A = this chain, B = another copy of it.
């Protein structure tokens, strides 16, 4: 038996007990005649005490010679501490060690195993197994575990079946971002790793498994943005005999369950539902952060009255009202202007109007607009004296997008985006299609099985861009947690959809053949949702990056620094797979 207790559970009640603990040496304080060792395991830290002349000689000398991160086993009596530490669960006691054993020595770790470490990103990725010893990472993996269990508990209670779908599936001609896997047993042939189990979950609906879920890895071989991973985890769900409302209610219930169980936050209201068009109009984003207001106000009609060519030539003029910021300095305003002019935001300039505490108005476009004009804008924007109006102009989508970035920045500056406050939201009525300039045709915004709204079907041939879909996203604090749709189950409508997307029958058949075939044998109405589990966990952890909620993540080049993968393979291995490399040596 290596231990009688964990390092996190002993307190005043155990005083007098003889206990055995095992763990890692977190810290040693050697005062000559007295040695204190902080012993750490997954559950906490317990202080060990060694005293010359009292502690057995061998244990004392062993204690002297242990180093950080040694694995040791200590037996002794739980005694009351003289100097109690109220910040530690075990701070009332310490262990008067009577026997010590070094279970394993340890080389000096390349960075300190502390909450605030001295190790840089790269070295911590390479020694991930050491980084994982630190509390901040451990807490996130424990959180992830709890979330996974609660997700399953909720869905199981709701009658969902967890069904595993295959990882070795089929590559499709359009699946340019599929990872492919050569088969040794099938010469010249390849599997593909799933980008999502979409097709299989729809097949399960055809099979009659009317409530399916899975917490499942998905794969995408694409250029990685800062916070993408080539493998990521999805809470994947599908339901049959449901309408959009049924799906939203069920997964709103799941989100509420998680907030309750994990954060002890009770949402006693329905999540707001915002049509996509409204989200774009008021927030310039399909994932608005509604922890704060600062909604967009359009000023085109008001600004057109005068001869300011920048506004007059703009498709869109709109602004936000930053409360209490009328006192912003020239420097601060210049900073904001530069902020929106960065290439990734792309605004040409920034117009401000200060609504001073004394009721006067001062703006960067005083030359073109008088105080009555500015007053009119301020009123339309519900501004009060002391507020600052920030106005952008230009092409509608681009300007809304820039204004969104500016709004979030102002939210940050004003402390309106507290990571411990949560504002969930459904964004609904997404467009069915989006126009692609490169290929000069419409693409499915979600996927080609997403059903259009009944009342918009008549527009499919005449004005495809206006058709709204039964598609929805769950958004929390400006983060897209998940999205889904009601699928098309009517084969005539599906044909029309493929036609609209410019698929020939042959193309549709080659890409989705077995799903189309399956639908011929009695497909129920169905729909579903997929939630990003990494993203969800990061949101619960109050952090932006998903990397810290993944035990063994890859870097921005898709590389696992710890195991040094991907890597070259032997030629014999390629030979067996009927492949040769075209890389020039």
Contacts and interface: CB of A to CB of B under 8 A. Distances in A.
Contacts of A62: none
A176 B563 CA distance: 18
A301 interface: no
A193 B181 contact: yes
Nearest to A197: B552
Contact of A522 (B69, B518, B560): B69
A184 to B, nearest CB: 5
Contact of A42 (B107, B210, B579): B210
Interface in A446-500: 489-490
Interface of A: 1-3, 22-24, 40-42, 69-71, 103-107, 109, 127-130, 132-133, 138, 141-142, 144-145, 148-149, 152, 156, 161-171, 173, 176, 178-193, 199-200, 203-204, 206-210, 217, 219, 221, 223-224, 230-231, 233, 241-243, 246, 489-490, 514, 518-525, 550-552, 554, 557-560, 562-570, 573, 575-583
A187 B573 CA distance: 17
A133 B240 CA distance: 14
Nearest to A576: B176
A143 to B, nearest CB: 10
B168 A219 contact: yes
Nearest to A22: B241
B103 A189 contact: no
Given A130-B207, A217-B164, A558-B185, A190 B105 contact: no
Contacts of A163: 141, 144-145, 551
B103 A525 contact: yes
Contacts of A204: 129, 132, 551
Contacts of A22: 241, 524
Given A167-B217, A577-B180, A188 B520 contact: no
13 contacts: A2-B525, A41-B241, A71-B524, A104-B523, A129-B521, A132-B207, A141-B161, A166-B560, A168-B231, A169-B563, A179-B191, A579-B582, A580-B582
Given A141-B161, A168-B554, A577-B180, A521 B231 contact: no
Contacts of A580: 579-580, 582
A104 B180 contact: no
